[in-house]
Amino acid sequence: MEAPLIAGSPSFGSITEKVSSIVEAKFSLVWLLWFGFISSIALVFFGAIGYVFWEGIGVWGNNVPNGWGWPIVNFVFWVGIGHAGTLISAILFLFRQRWRTSINRSAEAMTIFAVICAGIFPGIHVGRIWVSYWMFPLPNQMDMWPNFRSPLMWDIFAVGSYFTVSLLFWYVGLIPDFGTLRDRAKSKIRQFIYGILAVGWNGGNRQWRHYEKAYLLLAGLATPLVLSVHTVVSFDFATSVIPGWHTTIFPPYFVAGAIFSGFAMVMTLLVIVRKLYSLEHIITMRHLENMNKIMLVTGMMVGYAYGCEFFIAWYSGNDYEMAAFKNRAFGHYAWGYWIMVSCNVLVPQLFWFKRLRTSVPVMFVASILINVGMWFERFVIIISSLSQDFLPGSWGFFKPTLWDILILVGSFGLFFTLFTLFARFLPLISMAEVKGVLPQADPHHQGEST
Amino acid sequence: MSAREQSSYGLLAQFDGAASLLQAAKALHEAGYKRFDCHSAFPIHGMDRAMGLQQSKLGWIVLLGGFSGAAGGMLLQWWTSAIDYPLVISGKPLFSFQAFVPITFELTILFAAFGAVFGMLALNRLPRLHQELFNSGRFKQASDDGFFISVQAGDPQFDEAGTKSLLRQLGAQHIEVIERG
């Protein structure tokens, strides 16, 4: 028999109490120390960006032929992380995977914060920040419009829509829980803030009726959207003629990789969060195990894509294509390639074994290694292809500078700062949805009432 | 009708669980009540039918949003690339819909999502700062573990004493009058 979704058969009231008490507790010293630490890393991020604005992007390692450099590696990495949140909240919802209810809120929050981090990189990568509004189709004094045939333009729309829709979806999910926090609020300020956020929710079935429809439709809209986002990101590469980029496998390969890395990030965060806030009965081993299974599947898809790329390079008979792949595996950046393969293909194989995929330390370490591997995947794709293209005369090797490293580390600071604030001020778990999957929520349930 | 009935918003009755709420909703619907609502911390399966509610019309709003996104996206790209700022790029035609599909698709989704969220709020007459139900202290439980039925005094079937005894018959554990304002 399958384990119950929520362990220990709690009452409705105890779910409210457990989740709300996290938001209502006093600040602990540990929280303040952690917040001070992580937010100062976020400040390093903004400080380093400020320095780049002041000096210009010459302080980075980017130079011809490596025009894209680390900022675009980081962009693709972060936007990929976001995908797991939408997969959990939308795709698993459509497939009626009710186990998603314990983890969808925090996964969606992670999506939004990852897309915020991602969105910063193309913005600072344009170099002349004061004209970054050229990325948008705004009427301007030059009477010019952006080139809509460019995949980079498609990217602006894909990531922009993705961020907006994810934010709306997350907010709609939060409305009933804001109502709960409003009704529990002791102070005037909390009552006011959560009251505004709850927009007058009264839990009436006349409201639920439209609400559930809206949630279902949003899930249905977010599903093709999330698949399109990393597809469009992969078009940035696939529509060019650079060896190693110009392949049709890119869209599915990028989407699978995105979901893979995103699940690893959700795992890293949830293992910490469920321990810190003692939510083990709501985020159970069954949830963690299911996520590990998804990582095993998507990891194998990514591994298949790595193999397929090599096969097609050989099968195409194109010398440049083959040379690009030989360079990846045995050239200047071979170490990056083998980090990628070991972390993304070998590490998830651990999850074949039930003992390993139900071990919290194993999955925690594996999830971090997978994210290291997925960052290196983008590094390998972007850096190795750009540094050696058709003409040996135009080859050039990329080396990151201190500012590249500070900005990468700093982006993690921003991401974890935002997640720390989320875990403190918003309900980490969707109370309304978790109550809905308890056995006594079913009006035809036989047993004692609450 | 007494002065008190006119000044009150209606009745609020508390029930002990999802099953009794569903039963009571069905009974009220069968008794001909129209202006009542069932409040719970999560949506209850089968409640729409028990209350005799139609399917939500939200789908049509979303469809309209999607159409306007698709049309707007294609028009924006056609007008800027072929009419207002015609610029030949790598020898391609000024208007070729294939190149404009990704942005059209993204805007379709974006505007459909606007339709879903803002349409849902509009159909629910939200946002609202205050409503009469919030006058009841007990009603705060509705977002925690309480199950309530509210019947508005404006309902043609409403009669304070009669409705009260019907609700009690249906298993209400606590009944109170909600004041206006």
A49-76 pLDDT tens trace:
999 999 999 999 999 899 999 999 999 9
* pLDDT number for residue B3: 47
Instruction: Identify the closest residue of chain A to B74 by CA–CA distance.
Output: A148
What's residue A3's pLDDT? Answer: 72
| pLDDT classification of A446: cutoffs 50, 70, 90 | low
Stretch A3-18: mean pLDDT = 87
Look at residue A7 and tell me if it is in a domain.
Answer: no
Interface check A154 vs B, CB under 8 A: yes
- Residue A114: pLDDT band with limits 50, 70, 90: very high
Q: Is the residue at A215 inside a domain?
A: yes
Looking at residue A171, its pLDDT comes to 97
Asked if B81 and A145 come within 8 Å (Cβ–Cβ), the reply is: yes
Count of the separate structural domains present in chain A: 1
The whole-angstrom distance between B64's CA and the closest CA on chain A is: 13
Over range B31-37, report the average pLDDT.
94
CA distance B166 to chain A (A): 20
Min Cα–Cα distance to chain B from A73, Å:
22
Whole-number pLDDT of residue A127: 86
Residue B6 pLDDT grade (very low, low, confident, very high; cuts 50, 70, 90): low
Domain span including residue A387: 12-439
Q: Which residue of B has its CA nearest to A207?
A: B124
Assigned domain for A24 exists:
yes
Distance from CA of B102 to the nearest CA of A (A): 6
Give contacts of A 383-422 with B, CB under 8 A.
none
Given pLDDT bands bounded at 50, 70 and 90, which one contains residue B181?
confident
User: Nearest residue on chain A to B47, judged by CA atoms?
Assistant: A205
Count CB-CB contacts under 10 A for residue A169. 29
pLDDT at A2: 64
Question: Considering only alpha carbons, which residue of chain A is nearest residue B25?
Answer: A205
How do residues A312-361 score in pLDDT, each as one tens digit?
A: 999 999 999 999 999 999 999 999 999 999 999 999 999 999 999 999 99
Q: Render pLDDT for A241-278 as a digit per residue (tens, 0 to 9).
A: 999 999 999 999 999 999 999 999 999 999 999 999 99
Question: Per the CB < 8 Å rule, is A435 touching B42?
Answer: yes
Flag if B19 and A445 touch (Cβ within 8 Å). yes
pLDDT at residue A129 is higher than 80: yes
Task: Please compute the mean of the pLDDT values over residues A184-195 and round it to a whole number.
Answer: 94
Contacts 24+ apart (CB under 8 A), A231-238: A231/A255, A232/A151, A232/A154, A232/A155, A232/A157, A232/A158, A232/B102, A232/B106, A233/A76, A233/A79, A233/A80, A233/A155, A233/A158, A233/A159, A235/A151, A235/A154, A235/A155, A235/B102, A236/A151, A236/A152, A236/A155, A237/A381, A237/A382, A237/A385
User: A4 falls in which pLDDT band (50, 70, 90)?
Assistant: confident
Pairwise CB contact (< 8 Å): A205 & B53 = yes
| Averaged confidence pLDDT in chain A | 93
Going by DSSP bridges, is the β-strand pair B174-179/B8-15 parallel, antiparallel, or unpaired?
Answer: antiparallel
Distance between CA A434 and CA A12 in Å, rounded? 9
Q: Is residue A231 part of a domain?
A: yes
Query: Mean pLDDT, to the nearest integer, of B104-122?
Result: 98
Residue A446 within a domain: no
Cβ contact (<8 Å) for B44 and A205? Answer: yes
Q: What is the CATH number of the domain that holds A260?
A: 1.20.1630.10
Asked if A419 contacts A37 with a C-beta cutoff of 8 angstroms, the reply is: no
Q: Supply the pLDDT for residue A447.
A: 54
Minimal-distance CA residue of chain A relative to B134 = A202
A226 touches chain B (CB under 8 A): no
Q: Examine residue A5 and state whether it is found in any structural domain, yes or no.
A: no
Check A217 against B105: CB less than 8 A apart.
no
Residue A113 has pLDDT above 50, yes or no: yes
Partner B contacted by A366 (CB < 8 A): no
Q: Look up the pTM and report it.
A: 0.94
Decide if A6 is inside a domain: no
Please answer yes or no on whether B113 and A222 come within 8 Å at the CB atom: yes
Whether A449 has a pLDDT exceeding 60, the answer reads no
> Which pLDDT tens digit goes with each residue over A357-399?
999 999 999 999 999 999 999 999 999 999 998 889 999 999 9
Q: Tell if the CB–CB gap between A184 and B140 is shorter than 8 Å.
A: yes
Q: Which comes out higher in pLDDT, residue A218 or A5?
A: A218
Average pLDDT rounded to a whole number, residues B90-108: 94
